[in-house]
Amino acid sequence: MKNLNVPLPLSGGSPASRFQVAKARALTLALADPEMLEPELIAWKDSITSMASPELEGCSGPYGWRDYGISHDGRLEVDVGGEAIFIFAESSSFDSYERFGPGPLVNIRDGKGNEMNCHIGGVDCVRLDEWTSKLT
């Protein structure tokens, strides 16, 4: 899991307002992370109030919320000024191909209907058999 430590930009205010500022800061960083397409907050800890989410029955220890985040595919942990820690998971169902741009290969058919895998432009083609055509 990737870990970020950032300062809390707000020095005064109520614990609730400080937590909201920390949460907004963490979400901004998660949205800006190039490895996260759709970050979803799945666990957090407010060190000032000692509140955490999720609250798990029967989970021993002060780090149950963190264990939950890690075990539910937490990919990014953001510690904001030592006051609040947030764990984000990826919520997109898959990594879209559009993010990476077009690939270098295409499937085409020759004049006889044989399926082939070629570099774009129809060069370096390899004929696909029944088994390999299912892989592309």
DSSP at 12:
S
Kindly report, residue by residue over 69-125, the tens digit of the pLDDT: 999 999 999 999 999 999 999 988 755 556 666 778 788 888 888 888 888 877 788
> Cβ of 133: how many Cβ atoms within 10 Å?
14
> Cβ of 71: how many Cβ atoms within 10 Å?
10
Whats the size of the chain, residue-wise?
136
pLDDT tier, 60 (very low <50, low <70, confident <90, very high otherwise): low
**Of 54, 40, 43, which is closest to residue 90 (Cα–Cα)?**
40
Q: Is the pLDDT of residue 6 over 90?
A: yes
Q: Is the pLDDT of residue 130 over 90?
A: no
Q: Is the pLDDT of residue 41 over 60?
A: yes
* pLDDT (0 to 100) of residue 45: 95
* pLDDT (0 to 100) of residue 96: 56
Distances, alpha carbon 25 to alpha carbons 10, 67, 80, in Å: 10, 22, 8
Q: Is the pLDDT of residue 134 over 60?
A: no
Q: Which helix (H) or strand (E) holds 78?
A: strand 74-80
The Cα 98–Cα 100 span in angstroms is 5
What contacts 47, CB < 8 A, 6 or more positions away?
A: 82, 83, 84, 85
Which tops the pLDDT comparison, 67 or 101?
67
The Cα 130–Cα 19 span in angstroms is 58
* pLDDT (0 to 100) of residue 114: 84
Residue with tokens 């070629």: 118
Q: Is the pLDDT of residue 59 over 90?
A: no
- Looking at every residue in the chain, the average pLDDT score rounds to 84
Question: Which phi and psi (to 5°) does residue 18 adopt?
Answer: -65, -40
* pLDDT (0 to 100) of residue 92: 81
